[in-house]
Amino acid sequence: MSQNNLQQNIQTEEVSHEATLYAEPIAHIGGLTVTNALFTGWVAVFVLIIISIAVRAKIKQIPKGFQNLFEIIIEGAESIINQVTNDKKITAKVFPIALSIFLFVLINNWLGIMPLGGFGIIENTEHGKAFIPLIRSGTADLNMTLAMGVLSVIGANIFGIMSIGTWKMFNKYVNIKAFVDMIRKVRKEPTLLISAPIMFFVGVLELIGEFAKVASLSFRLFGNVFAGEVLLLSMSTILAYVLPLPFIGLEILVGVIQAFIFSILTVVYYTIAAQDHDHDEEHESKEHKVATAH
């Protein structure tokens, strides 16, 4: 009787599944802990590689079918980015990065809402058995979105260095040039005693703004995707298979919007970093002198 009761208890024991803020570990490779969010990121990269190989294998001089559709999408996306940069040279350099980010974020967002919840592992915890899904959107993990935000901001600054030079990029944040100009020109322009310290602190604010960019990119994406997963899980608990359907459609749209926002903001940061404000100021100063002379 005791064995039968034990078997019945095991069979009737509930397996809990809760949405957690952190990604759950599913495997260990040496010292590396593989989480379900990290695994989903790998799947997204694998899907992108397969798509790239498939497109590359079917490229022809006269586009047909899938290639024709793909070229229309590429041209439309390039046109949107060109409206942001207003410079075809910057667009040509930034477009591959922006498109890669968009596709990676989009696939991650969609993988998190696909009906793959049945694939996972069951682990024993202090509170009983817990189900851990193998697939969880990588963008629903704050670690992933923070890493992407840091890479986007650092990449923008590297792009700025390549575009306008190290010295000018450095002076955006630590405006030494303003103090040098103040020492050299203070006799002719006494107002530099006021404007130079202001310009220096503007540079400090620019530096603080870089950290704000990381927070803006990462928390916006994480919050929207994680909230969507919690919403779908809650609806499935109330009435499975029926109630979540309209919300899945909504989350598909949200996934596209969030991927678009992240990639466009990255393009904006790259464009701002590539602008030479000193050159613009010199150009405006020359125009003002010419206008005054006439």
pLDDT tens digit string along 207-256?
898 999 999 999 999 999 988 888 887 887 787 777 778 888 888 999 99
Question: In this predicted structure, what is the pLDDT of residue 120?
Answer: 59
Model confidence at 287: pLDDT above 50: no
Question: In this predicted structure, what is the pLDDT of residue 150?
Answer: 95
Residue 221 lies in a domain: yes
Q: For residue 3, which amino acid is it? A: Q
Residue 4 lies in a domain: no
Residue 3 lies in a domain: no
Residue 231 lies in a domain: yes
Structural domains of the chain, count: 1
* C-alpha span between 270 and 41 (Å, rounded): 24
CB 139 within 8 A of CB 225: yes
- pTM, two decimal places: 0.80
Question: In this predicted structure, what is the pLDDT of residue 179?
Answer: 67
* C-alpha span between 81 and 95 (Å, rounded): 7
Residue 1 lies in a domain: no
Q: For residue 40, which amino acid is it? A: T
CB 232 within 8 A of CB 113: yes
Length of the chain: 294
The domain containing residue 121 runs over which residues?
11-293
Residue 23 is given by DSSP the state P
